[in-house]
A and B are shown apart, each in its own frame.
Chain A
Amino acid sequence: MTRWTPDPTFYASPSDAAGAPAEKLAYVAAFDRAAEQPDAIAVIDTDPASETYGRVVGWTDLPHTGDELHHFGWNACSSALCPTAPHPHVERRYLIVPGLRSSRLYVIDTKDDPRAPRIVKEISPEELKSKSGYSRPHTIHCGPDGIYVSALGNGTDGGGPGGIAVLDHTTFEVRGQWEADRGDQFLAYDFWWHLTRDVLVTSEWGTPDMIEDGINPELLLGRKYGHRLHFWDLAKRTLVQSVDLGDQYQMTLELRPAHEPTKEYGFVGVVVSVEDLSASVWVWHREAGEFKVTKVIDIPAEPAATEDLPPALQPFGAVPPLVTDIDLSVDDKFLYVSCWGTGELKQYDVSDPFHPVEVGSVRLGGIVGRVPHPSFPDERLAGGPQMVEVSRDGKRVYVTNSLYGSWDDQFYPDGVGAWLAKIDVADGGGIAVDPQFFPHGDEFRGRRVHQTRLQGGDASSDSYCFPSA
């Protein structure tokens, strides 16, 4: 049933959203690498006034095993206020949760008891494959005319092309494949858009058979993973332009367009350069109608002793930063960059997107560093800051430590563990770990943790159609 007034978590503009109240709960994807126990959505208390602050306060097991939960998203967000197809009286209440390995999707209702989300619908892998021609669903965004789901693989054999499937806003039925003309786009990973410009952007990782058994050194050194960005006409659903960053820049992953609708730029992280193991962040922007992609951040590899490195890295004598997630604050001022290899979260002031200035850094875990959390100084942490989520007001940042099951095992062969850290942001820049908040280890019941979603929305969940006042 629809509401009489718009859902209070919808905001017309980014500046309105930045004034949203602090989140009380966080939802975290938790998966069992062994596929023996079911994956789960863990609910974390994020209210500092609560007695259970920083603890796992809810847990919803899924009915199957081996889904490998990864990313997920809301059924509706601030884009419901967009004027061409407004539907602001729907509720933001369902999490759309894909299994990256199983290709199954779940619809999970958080309304009745936000601490005990309830599974209300399941979309089978067969249904997704037959109706959209895709498998391995990944990113979810609430679009103007449906829920968009990116997927890594085709529906038949573990190869490509990957692309985008669209789900119905109300019934969650798979409506079909999004692309009307994909040109030579083959690899897929993330996507997002400039809604008011009718531009959709997609990035490239690899097809399922290139990633599911672990990162393949031959493919990597052969520069076969993705290194392009694609720009699409959102209304016509056609590929307009592809930009190649250069094949040494392997794996263009997370896309973070500016939230402000009048701006037409965004950031993309590149995992690794095969030339020197560095990672990089690039900005896409438009000049005279054409998209260009410019490198704005370079993060070098850190030299390391061979005996400190996992077998996969021993030939190189260095730790690659492995930038595997980035996140842009709702006011487009700060960019957070996860260096999962070196175990560092970097904060950049990107007020001038072409000249980022590093203003903060926190170290946790890392392949060599194994930096402990300040509240548990004796526990050497594995994994590093990986999935980053920023609160709407930009004051809190949450990071989890698992990348992707089979890849965790290669870079952290003695076990990646499971932890979720909260990082506080000082006004004007600067970040520090919150010592009070550190759900980890057994609290996650043997699962690894990936994406975090904040109750009411966060910096990577909503799109806005109206400029800030």
Chain B
Amino acid sequence: MSGGQLLALAGLGAFHGLNPAMGWLFAVARGMQERSRTVLLKSLPPIALGHLASVAIVAAVVSATESVVAGNVVGIVGGLVLVAFGLWRLLSERHFRWAGMRLSSAQLAGWSFLMSSAHGAGLMLLPVLAAGAMAGHADHAMPGMSLDGTPVAALEGLAAAGVHTLAMFAVMAGLAFAVYEFVGVSILRRAWFNMDRVWAGVMVGTGALTIALSAN
């Protein structure tokens, strides 16, 4: 992975970490409910783990697939999927449904996995992964080589998900801590801009960009 890719993955991670729906707000609520900073801190790793799992599945599949198919297929198909998913998120007013707030750590990781997956968090990494694939194909022009490279490519996808989640974790932890310790949740009613709409817009935009770049 190039430095640019790493930076893009981390940037998307920060973007995901910023979204209150992805978990930092739940960590704050758990801490406030029990009046315990420890509860807040202990809530963060399971949330990050759930996010990692959701993103890693997509990343591994995409990376493995692009090691066996022509360079621009993943970019074009993936871009289309991204645009479609983003449009659906943009137009649908349906929100993630969940009842129950007293979760064990395992359940919390499960909640985070479902929440991230429903938002298509992993899909958003597609443009970065596709860009990596095209660079890779340019390096090794021998078609027969790619098949043997599938597991390695999948691992590369996992590494990408890891970098992404580290950045997500850092931003999420910082926000949760700041809101819990200093800012307070009253700020939500003013500062919680509609991340879902921005999120969907980013998906449509990057999806379109990926298609354009891949089709070249």
Contacts and interface: CB of A to CB of B under 8 A. Distances in A.
Given A81-B188, A88-B192, A4 B197 contact: yes
Interface string A1-40: 1111110101111001000000000000000000000000
Interface in B147-200: 184-186, 188-194, 196-197
Most buried by A among B20, B93, B184, B197: B93
Contacts of B85: none
Nearest to B30: A83
Contacts, number: 111
Interface in A424-468: 465-467
A10 B111 contact: no
Nearest to B111: A84
Interface stretch (B56-64, B71-79, B97-105): B97-105
Contact of B185 (A13, A90, A198): A13
B101 A12 contact: no
Given A83-B25, A145-B97, A198-B100, A466 B190 contact: no
A2 B93 contact: yes
B2 interface: no
Nearest to A10: B189
Contacts of A2: 93, 194, 196-197
B95 interface: yes
Contacts of B113: none
Nearest to B33: A196
Contacts of A16: 186, 189
Nearest to A3: B194
A264 to B, nearest CB: 11
B192 A6 contact: yes
B35 interface: yes
A261 interface: yes
Interface in B62-114: 93-102, 111
B185 A12 contact: yes
Interface residues of B, number: 33
Given A198-B102, A262-B35, A467-B32, A90 B93 contact: yes
A148 to B, nearest CB: 10
A195 interface: yes
Interface string A122-149: 0000000000000000000001111000
B29 interface: yes
A235 B108 CA distance: 14
Contact of B193 (A4, A197, A466, A467): A4
A234 B190 CA distance: 30
A234 B189 contact: no
A89 interface: yes
B148 to A, nearest CB: 44
Given A12-B186, A195-B101, A196-B101, A83 B29 contact: yes
A392 interface: no
Nearest to A467: B32
Nearest to A15: B186
A16 B97 CA distance: 25
A170 interface: yes
B21 interface: yes
B33 A469 contact: no
A467 B93 contact: no
A89 B19 CA distance: 14
Contacts of A228: none
Interface string A78-109: 00011111111110000000000000000000
B99 A6 contact: no
Interface string B14-45: 00000011010110110011010000000000
Nearest to B95: A87
Contact of A88 (B23, B97, B188): B188
B41 to A, nearest CB: 16
A195 B190 CA distance: 23
A2 B25 CA distance: 20
A236 B103 CA distance: 12
Interface of A: 1-6, 8, 10-13, 16, 81-90, 143-146, 169-170, 195-198, 234-237, 261-262, 465-467, 469
6 contacts: A2-B196, A84-B100, A85-B96, A195-B101, A234-B99, A466-B185
Interface of B: 20-21, 23, 25-26, 28-29, 32-33, 35, 93-102, 111, 184-186, 188-194, 196-197
Given A87-B95, A88-B192, A198-B100, 4 more contacts: A4-B193, A5-B191, A88-B189, A234-B100
